[in-house]
Amino acid sequence: MDLIKKIGNRSAKIGVIGLGYVGLPLIIEFVKKGFSVTGFDIDRTKVDFLNAGKSYIKHIDITPLTGRGQGAKGKGLQTKAASSSAASHSKIKQPATRNPQPVFTATTDFSLLKNMDCILICVPTPLSKNREPDMTYVFNTTKTIAQYLKKGQLIILESTTYPGTTDEDMRAILEKTGLKAGKDFLLAFSPEREDPANKDFSLRTVPKVVGGYTRACLRAAQALYDTIVIKTVPVSSTKVAEATKLLENIYRSINIALVNELKILFDRMGINIWEVIEAAKTKPFGFQPFYPGPGLGGHCIPLDPFYLSWKAHEYEFSTKFIELAGEINTSMPDYVVSKVMKALNDVGKPIKGAKILILGLAYKANIDDDRESPSYRLIEKLEELGAQVRYNDPYIPVIRKSREYAKYAGRKSVKISGNYDCILIATAHDEYKDIDFKSFNIPIVDTRAVVKGKSKLFYSA
């Protein structure tokens, strides 16, 4: 049966590789629309959690995956939600004949890829220690897919990367099997546009950019995404789709760098940057507000600009604007630490031996996502100076093991109190906004404009 027809009647089997912040929302939407989905991951803990009907990401509700599932036995989590939610939006194409029993199963057995009709790759694309793209996860995943590749399969990369990854690097790996992209199998790129815990937009409501290696590849990928999103945006190639995601995040990186630089300048001038931004955003045209912080966090903005800068060297081109923004943003933790040192000095305390409480480990408010969080860099820098650092985060009770900061794994969130020499606010969780910081009578360094009012012990950073 033609793949597009199988997608239309929901008989196409979907495989999603990577069960994190990108892969899990995709799985939920496909199951809700009536597909049987298999989630693949090398992390046994994630697989066991999902097969037991539990979410390991607090803001992601996996109720659509549980239904009458068989849970921990790993036989698949059946869902009742698919039939009702699939018809919830008239713009999303509905199947002529619905798959009668959509099922979700998580597994570490990648040999099951041979049973999939569509395979979506949602693995990390971090940077190396030298700030160069680390494509290990994408290329190793592609090599694994190649072991089980069969005619007619659709392979889609969602991980953010440099232009050329899909139709050059991945295609070369997959075509070593003897199968040809666009003829024997289909190849496409569609960048994820996740914004964790965003209450205004979800995966379903954010337009999906799609680029295919050939027109046939594009048609199949677009048909697949048309089932779960309100609007798809087809573009002429995978390179255009890859470049689109980079432009989106570079735009944000540069504008955040601008307000971070202005924050430092305005601080010296005695001007509150937050008040300036609030006033400026009343202009109904020509201005979009961006906000300063202690450094960039999340998996996109701190990393993606460097992917394009690295690729630009292949074309003997220097991305000066992008690199300057990167320098400013990565220097912000140093600025914050200098503010902490000043705050302590003003009350006659040295940084060495000082007890400091950092509020917020997540990179943004009201989520448990600590990927690339500047809080880790702040902890590291303060401890290098001899400070005793603890943290509080209601969303991250225990620090999980990570690639870059494995040394902090196992540390636990502590209670907020005034029994410290200084409190550093790094994340604007709602839980912090009603705290009477004045009652602590210690220096408060605020990087997120959480504290309202002025006090000689309050420091904006």
Q: Is the torsion defined by CA of 269, 270, 271, 272 positive or negative?
A: positive
Residue 198: both structure tokens together: 């965003």
The Cα 296–Cα 332 span in angstroms is: 8
- In contact, 138 and 157? CB cutoff 8 Å: yes
The Cα 113–Cα 278 span in angstroms is: 51
Return the exposure string of 313-343: e unless at least 16 CB atoms fall within 10 Å of the residue's CB, then b: eeeeeebeebeebbebbbebbebbbebbbeb
Q: Is the torsion defined by CA of 108, 109, 113, 115 positive or negative?
A: negative
- In contact, 422 and 442? CB cutoff 8 Å: yes
The Cα 109–Cα 139 span in angstroms is: 18
Active-site residue identified among 118, 122, 217, 300: 300
- How far lies 420's CA from each of 49, 56, 196, 335, in Å? 37, 32, 32, 21
Is 217 noted as a catalytic residue in this protein? no
The Cα 2–Cα 19 span in angstroms is: 28
- In contact, 458 and 446? CB cutoff 8 Å: yes
Annotated active-site positions, please?
Answer: 300
